[in-house]
Structure 1
């Protein structure tokens, strides 16, 4: 505890870090306040008992409840994330976008601008669909046609405002702004989830306090397991040739390429979850399908649902890793910088070696990701309330762990640059001492 207070004291001694943390907190508070502002022309009392499930429930969780409240920022940053994914995929498939990715800062600015334009287009479409399908008619207190037009503009402006807040956090705050906004939305649901679980545990005759303690211990173990997966890397050694620059000798040192066990991040779960919502959507449109085999995919605790879900996650993990991690580019970058993997010839042999290593570590990473994804279903099966069960795994837990680790890593960097101890005396956040990395990308969204 003394170590913690000393570290917090050190944080406040660094003026720049203190300003960044306070700026980030102020922006997040502004976002949470705006989430409570309802669309003009909507009676909030008619929305009090509106609950979202399935894909809509996932969107509501990411928006911190703003989706179900018909807030002016109901769509949150999801349109921006969708646009970012599309631009990222275009950077792999379209030569002109590939060229922009290689142009450095100027190319990055162009891609950012295209992402913003695409965000506006996606938001307008989603805003129209949202006000048409998610706002009850009895909640609209003005002329419906006027309401739809005004709401489309307001929702679009709200998403752009949230996107701007995220960019400000990234530029002047601490951590990734978009990810922090999503994380705050998820955490906003935690108090209600805990309250529901406590009421449920003490209302029944199934263990009371002992059961609650066991659930907390299980949640702690799941979080530790998730951290292990998020931070897991396979370090491939890279040797750099010695060179003489002026009167100095540079190079000749051994560094590492940190290949992540879970290079795809949370995207496989999001893609798989989107597909798993298709059967319930079809049943909603065609009620006669309720008695068909599709009904097995409506119950998220069923064996069929979870096996299919796990298989899709494993498949999407391999797919997304293949399109985001480019062994050939990593090999070329090493060759240009005079680097080589000991015992492996530069060029094609290096590319094949990296590809083989990625293939070997991707399967266990995909398997562990699938286990994390189905843990909420298992928690519901043993009696945990659905709202609290979402924190036992899945998208929400991966986002929380990833964002917290990334933010801690940045704070650690500020402390260590000023020769202060980091946040933890033992162990480390990945990147605390800096893993020397050869050039290459293993990016993952969110």
Structure 2
């Protein structure tokens, strides 16, 4: 991280620190470590006393904090006197529709799953009959989440970082860094690494043999599939096919920001919201927080975010207000809109 900060300072053209010696590096290292520990502590406090994962919420807020500046820079780029044309309004409208489409597709793929039907055999114990219910086993399409993209980007960034640290002023190092930061080679390597880490993550985290054994112990079976090894093979085959769809989706989402940036010439801070890790993290954290808030509201006899049914009177409990999905989402969108408008206003005021 210190090496990256040093590279950014060098690109500014003027020295930010007059005498950057080892004492400055040591103090910077202590400051970064202390700040990281403080953020981790704040995240734990949010998780213990609030709703949602604290660390994930802090990361999401950091990503969303760049949204107003990204909107301002993208708008300035598209409507600048040197680039504005008669088709600029149509291009802006098309770009906004494309952005909402990417967000909707990300939400859909994040929640997409295949439900494997599970039947439980009836068991008689004494005078009671257990089992006989029908349930389902959810298999997520994007089982690995954002991890394959993070691993792929880390591996692609590692060679250029090491070469730049060893030979900082080498022309060969500059060519390698440029080839691993954009272009056809970068896209191809990204897709290959994302596919590899998607299957690697599923292979290490998803255990079909253990699931099949647990189902067999509890008297569960998949209709048409024999318990035991055939069930494990069926689950492994199903998860392999789902992982293929998830890896294709992650590959498209990973390269989409750079494609948009190169084709339209918009800044990187704006293009990052068209895909990549930023969009996946924001969507995943918001959905997870909404599920936890729904659970909390249902425990207090309120209607949840993700359900359409209204709650009126509950047996044995007082009358509670009807909190509908539409009303709650309106307040959420209003709050986000106020934050975006405030951020744009502050950015324009600073300029």
The answer to whether the superposition gives a TM-score over 0.5 is yes
Question: Paired residue for 2:317?
Answer: none
Unaligned regions of 5+ residues in structure 2, if any? Answer: 310-324, 326-351
Q: 2:291, 2:306 within 8 Å by CA — same for their partners in 1?
A: no
Deviation at 1:385, TM superposition (A): 2.2
For the residue of structure 1 that corresponds to 2:104, the secondary structure is helix
Cα distance in 2 between the residues matched to 1:246 and 1:155:
63
Corresponding position: 1:223 with 2:103: yes
Q: CA deviation at 1:351?
A: 1.3
1:386 to 257, 264, 268: 268
Q: TM-score, normalised by structure 2?
A: 0.76
Instruction: Report the Cα distance in structure 2 between the residues aligned to 1:343 and 1:250, rounded to whole angstroms.
Output: 22
Change (3 A) 1:152 1:282: closer
What is the CA distance between 1:181 and its match in structure 2?
A: 1.0
Q: Quote how far apart the aligned CAs of 1:412 are.
A: 1.8
Matched, 1:205 2:84: yes
Matches within 5 A, 1:106-125: none
Distance 1:208 1:255, change over 3 A: same
- Give secondary structure in 2 for the equivalent of 1:342: coil
Paired with 1:187 and 1:296, the residues of 2 have a C-alpha distance of 28
The match for 1:337 is 218
Q: Is the CA contact 2:102–2:274 (under 8 Å) kept in the aligned structure 1? A: yes
Task: Tell whether the 8 Å contact from 2:51 to 2:292 is kept in structure 1 after alignment.
Answer: yes
Contact 2:110 2:142 in 1 (8 A): yes
Equivalent of 1:168 in 39, 45, 49: 45
Structure 1, residues 155-201: CA drift from partner, whole Å, max 9, x if none? 32221111111111111111111111110111111111111011111
Instruction: Determine the structure 2 residue equivalent to 1:409.
Output: 291
Unpaired runs of 5+ in structure 1? 1-125, 433-446
Which whole-Å CA distance do the structure 2 matches of 1:373 and 1:327 have between them?
28
Work out whether residues 280 and 297 of structure 1, in 8 Å CA contact, stay in contact via their aligned partners in 2: no
Contact 1:269 1:395 in 2 (8 A): yes
Task: Specify the alignment match of 1:399 in structure 2.
Answer: 281
> Deviations 1:28-79 (Å, cap 9, x if unpaired)?
xxxxxxxxxxxxxxxxxxxxxxxxxxxxxxxxxxxxxxxxxxxxxxxxxxxx
Q: CA RMSD in A?
A: 2.8
Please point out which of 54, 64, 79 is paired with 1:187: 64
Correspondence 1:375 to 2:256 = yes
1:304 matches 2:181: no
Q: Distance in 2 between matches of 1:133 and 1:305?
A: 21
Alignment match, 2:201: 320
- In the alignment of these two chains, the number of paired residues is 300
Match of 1:250 among 106, 116, 130: 130
- Contact 1:236–1:259 (8 Å) recurs in 2: yes
Is 1:232 paired with 2:112?
yes
Other structure's SS at 1:257 match: strand
**Superposition deviation, residue 274 in structure 1:** 1.3
The farther-off stretch of 183-192 and 145-154 is 145-154
On the 8 A contact 2:294/2:306 being kept in 1, the answer is: no
Corresponding position of 2:338: none
Distance 1:248 1:164, change over 3 A: farther
Change (3 A) 1:249 1:129: farther
8 Å contact from structure 2 (residues 291, 305) kept in 1: no
Distance in 2 of aligned mates of 1:346 and 1:277: 46
CA distance in 2, matches of 1:425, 1:280: 48
- C-alpha distance in 2 between matches for 1:173 and 1:245: 43
